[in-house]
Amino acid sequence: MFRVYVRIKVFRKLSTDDYLVFLAWLLALVNAAIWQARAKQLYLGISLSSGHTRVFPLDLPDQIEKFLHAILAAYLVQYTALWCVKLSFLFFFRGLGRNIRVQRIIWWSTLAFLISSYAVCIGTVDYRCLAAGFTQSISTSSPSSSWGER
């Protein structure tokens, strides 16, 4: 809030980097809401993976499916929030050397690299496992399946 106050007081407007920081903050809030809504599945997943669960719930496939979908949503939201912060820094520094040709070239190159790296991060998420149903997810993620069969 102090940042917004100072920007409005000094510059009389908000800039692109301010909006990107605000978007990142909103996405962090969304990520917290995802895990708040799926806390039961999160703790069940932790309990299953650590071997502490001796009695399995009857709706285990449904619980695991909800957990996997929450992981997928959280990945996408978290990556987007992180890249919003990176872009915010980039847009902040853009204003410092706007009239210097070399800095403009470096800025555009860095922007292309940031967008490419975001695409790579989003592209490497295992959608087949995280977005599938329980049975499909188990068969796709099983250790016996090889990379060529996916």
Q: What is the pLDDT along the chain (150 residues), one digit of tens a residue?
A: 677 777 787 878 888 888 999 999 999 999 999 999 988 888 888 888 888 877 787 888 888 888 888 989 999 999 999 999 999 999 988 877 778 888 889 999 999 999 999 999 999 988 887 887 766 666 666 555 444 554
Domain residue ranges of the chain, discontinuous segments joined by +: 2-149
Contact call for residues 38 and 63 (beta carbons, < 8 A): no
Q: Is the pTM above the cut of 0.85? A: no
